[in-house]
Chains A and B, each alone.
Chain A
């Protein structure tokens, strides 16, 4: 579904991605993890077409992203970014309904079919009950669910998410990822999600790509990537990797030494 070869991209003042090779198959959930500033968001933006590539090739469903029109791309790829503007005065339903834009012609208005799709999307994202509420009244978590619903309403084949659950409580975090996983399995949706929570990523993702310094440091199944030394090297923090007793997926926690050893500055402060 998604294929990235030798991708170099960044901003005029500084290059960020220094040669990325990555694949995501149809129906696969790929989690992208890494420390701050490693280029996760930049990678997502490049795949979404928001950032021009300096070198390399990105292909979605066999078609290069560079050559595709915005409308054609939007019918295949949906993105949920971190910073979300929600226009005042519109209801949650109206905002989610905007996800149907790529499927409508200029003079066409949304119809029954579109309403059905949006309803289904909002129900699965657990925000249907918010449909008549103005978006500015919603909490951060509720807004995030509305935006996810909008992305789902696009009926994409590839869904890109940048920390989609940062504002959500534990239940909703799990619900969201479970929904995504269901869609991957039932509808063969491909999901590429930037995730901060390593354990959450490990719980749901089929594969994980660990990034550091604009490159892929490790790439593969969760238990292969989330090894203590790999994580330590990437994040600069001592960790212990446990194994979930039922699922067998890795759980990453900071090492005991990291907990008791306060950074030098605070120690000196406390002492005096």
Chain B
């Protein structure tokens, strides 16, 4: 059946009054702008700290580390602070923030539930189990050359998600409600286990709590190198599924009718998002709030099309967490404030403000 003339050699002109299309090419300027804005935030954050280093010096030091660029001598202390302490911290915060936000958006899209967030299937609690097991063992944890903590946390996270997925699977189909329930169950078991171990090995309680609370004060280029590949690759691989995520906002039967292999798309998106989140948690602990609120904020401002929501959540999440980290290390100069506290205290009022401005929330099914 044909409703219109077939594609002819000459492209038909757009009729007046046609709505604008969302395509990768016409979104490119938006992405570029967002990337630049995030970069600006990052540079600001690298220039800001308890030790005052003038911005030109900062930029000079950063540029000096690029290959083939030489910008003269800098004091060893300033170089150490900028390049070894602040820069990896900002980069890691940006990566983790981007990952948590776009994974949150992906989870919300698959579950069609506004309360979904990347820790739903047990990534966080599974990672905590992995990290706790290492911390209570006699292993040397603080070794800088190779720390067993991130891989253990990563493994724990993946095992938990796999368990949640397997438990929810019935006849090769995984209903989203079952998945939520199995995720909650797995999380509860993991959390109880961590609590029990924390109390049994109570000289380690502070170390475990510290890891769980999360933060970037032990950020290093090494941690960036460990986590970045997963976060970047997963993000790049999820992006093509953005259009299908739009279609999945119809209920599953309708999406199937439109030819979408719903089970496979769900599995791919959840697997990629969980993988990226596991890597983020492995290098920075359990930072909450970002994965839940940033996607909603992006939706409220830019609409529900996932071709915008996914990448823009990434950029906004990165900027948000970078700024939150600036606050965490600057609010009491010289001392650290737990970043989870900052994200909640800073993000909640802003989110409430946005909610009030909207006449209705930009989510859910009509």
Chain A residues with a Cβ under 8 A of chain B:
48-50, 69-75, 77-79, 81, 83-91, 93-94, 98-99, 101-102, 104, 106-107, 109-113, 115-117, 119-121, 124, 131-132, 135-136, 143, 152-157, 183, 187-189
A-B contact pairs, 23 of them (CB 8 A): A48-B257, A81-B254, A83-B251, A85-B251, A85-B254, A87-B249, A88-B360, A88-B363, A88-B366, A89-B299, A89-B303, A89-B304, A90-B249, A94-B19, A98-B258, A101-B258, A109-B24, A110-B21, A112-B11, A117-B4, A132-B19, A187-B3, A189-B1
Q: Are B259 and A102 in contact (CB under 8 A)?
A: yes
B12 within 8 A of A: yes
B59 within 8 A of A: no
Q: Are B253 and A99 in contact (CB under 8 A)?
A: no
Q: Are B259 and A136 in contact (CB under 8 A)?
A: no
Q: Are B3 and A153 in contact (CB under 8 A)?
A: yes
Taking the closest CB of chain B, its distance from the CB of A145, in whole angstroms, is 15
Excluding A70-B259, A72-B259, A113-B7, 5 further A-B contacts by CB distance (< 8 Å) are: A88-B365, A111-B23, A119-B4, A120-B3, A143-B366
Taking the closest CB of chain B, its distance from the CB of A69, in whole angstroms, is 8
Choose among B4, B260, B305 the residue that contacts A101 (Cβ–Cβ < 8 A): B260
Q: Are A50 and B256 in contact (CB under 8 A)?
A: yes
Choose among A98, A109, A111, A132 the residue that contacts B247 (Cβ–Cβ < 8 A): A98
- Chain A residues, Cβ within 8 Å of B253: 50, 81
Q: Are A88 and B260 in contact (CB under 8 A)?
A: no
B243 within 8 A of A: yes
- Chain B residues, Cβ within 8 Å of A112: 11-12, 14
B189 within 8 A of A: no
- Chain B residues, Cβ within 8 Å of A98: 246-247, 250, 258
Chain B residues with a Cβ under 8 A of chain A:
1-5, 7, 11-12, 14-15, 18-19, 21-24, 112, 240-241, 243-244, 246-247, 249-251, 253-254, 256-262, 299, 303-305, 307, 360-366
Report if A155-B2 is in contact (Cβ < 8 Å); known contacts: A132-B19, A136-B366.
yes
Q: Are A94 and B305 in contact (CB under 8 A)?
A: yes
A93→B251 CA distance, assembly (Å): 18
Q: Are B363 and A101 in contact (CB under 8 A)?
A: no
- Chain B residues, Cβ within 8 Å of A48: 257
Q: Are A183 and B1 in contact (CB under 8 A)?
A: yes
Report if A109-B21 is in contact (Cβ < 8 Å); known contacts: A85-B254, A87-B249, A155-B2.
yes
- Chain B residues, Cβ within 8 Å of A132: 19
Taking the closest CB of chain A, its distance from the CB of B9, in whole angstroms, is 12
- Chain A residues, Cβ within 8 Å of B364: 88
Q: Are A84 and B254 in contact (CB under 8 A)?
A: yes
Q: Are B362 and A115 in contact (CB under 8 A)?
A: no
Query: When A and B form their complex, which 10 residue pairs have the shortest distance between CB atoms, in order from nearest?
Result: A74-B259, A87-B249, A89-B304, A102-B259, A136-B366, A109-B23, A71-B259, A187-B1, A120-B3, A101-B258
- Chain B residues, Cβ within 8 Å of A143: 366
- Chain B residues, Cβ within 8 Å of A157: 1
Choose among A69, A70, A110, A187 the residue that contacts B2 (Cβ–Cβ < 8 A): A187
Choose among A73, A87, A121, A155 the residue that contacts B250 (Cβ–Cβ < 8 A): A87
Q: Are B366 and A87 in contact (CB under 8 A)?
A: yes
Taking the closest CB of chain B, its distance from the CB of A180, in whole angstroms, is 11
Q: Are B258 and A87 in contact (CB under 8 A)?
A: no
- Chain A residues, Cβ within 8 Å of B257: 48, 50, 74, 77-79, 81
A50→B18 CA distance, assembly (Å): 34
- Chain B residues, Cβ within 8 Å of A91: 19
Q: Are A121 and B3 in contact (CB under 8 A)?
A: yes
- Chain A residues, Cβ within 8 Å of B256: 49-50, 70
A155→B256 CA distance, assembly (Å): 16
